[in-house]
Amino acid sequence: DAKTTQPTSMDCAEGRAANLPCNHSTISGNEYVYWYRQIHSQGPQYIIHGLKNNETNEMASLIITEDRKSSTLILPHATLRDTAVYYCIARLNNAGNMLTFGGGTRLMVKP
Amino acid sequence: DAGITQSPRHKVTETGTPVTLRCHQTENHRYMYWYRQDPGHGLRLIHYSYGVKDTDKGEVSDGYSVSRSKTEDFLLTLESATSSQTSVYFCATAGQSYNEQFFGPGTRLTVL
């Protein structure tokens, strides 16, 4: 799996959009970009994933650059409950391929 | 949350004793995983299963064994626990569309 680089921490005001960047400059053509988050003491939670096109679901939007070397996870209206560690993962999409969680970005949503 | 439960949720044991952690799911998911999470190392895969009696090793499998005799249960065994196996253990499952892994609440294991 390609290595990903994320800022260690970020702050966001409640109600504003949270934009979390991820660099994956060595990503291969068949590796997907996945985002998970982990709220303190809980198991990780899947957010979204994509290959080339931008993706949106009920939780977030994923913007992948045209060269696929970086991406941004957008939480459109952050709430206090979005305070968590967010992990960006580049991986092949097969069942046996583990999720390799690095350090992630600690997002603090403030009132 | 895919109906995943883990037992026990907390355990303290002594070096050299055997320990078995259980993961139980109610969603009939085919794939099941065991991860450990340690400060500075993120989440690392120990073993995974792609069906009943079908298992394979992950990144950090030494000192661990697994068994899956039923779809709903995936057991992780530490044959002789060591202090380096003190960690939080997470079970995860994935269905046919294995894009999304669902994680259990975790088991905090302390080996003294």
pLDDT tens for each residue of B23-35: 999 999 999 999 9
pLDDT classification of A76: cutoffs 50, 70, 90: very high
Percentage of chain A lying above the pLDDT 90 cut: 77
pLDDT of residue B2: 60
pLDDT of residue B93: 93
The gap from C-alpha B72 to its chain's centroid, in whole angstroms, comes to: 13
Q: Is A96 part of the contact surface with chain B (CB cutoff 8 Å)?
A: yes
pLDDT classification of B89: cutoffs 50, 70, 90: very high
Percentage of chain B lying above the pLDDT 90 cut: 79
Task: Give chain A positions within 8 Å (CB) of B56.
Answer: 96
Which pairs with CB-CB distance under 8 Å and at least 24 residues apart come from A50-56?
Answer: none
Mutate to test the interface with A, among B43, B46, B50, B61 (most CBs of A within 10 A): B43
Of A89, A93, A87, A97, the residue nearest B48 (C-alpha): A97
Task: Scan for tokens 């997907």, then name that residue.
Answer: A32
Q: Find, in chain B, the residue whose alpha carbon is nearest to that of A48.
A: B100
Q: Is A104 part of the contact surface with chain B (CB cutoff 8 Å)?
A: yes
**CA contacts within 13 A on the Cβ side of B97:** 3
Q: Is A53 part of the contact surface with chain B (CB cutoff 8 Å)?
A: no
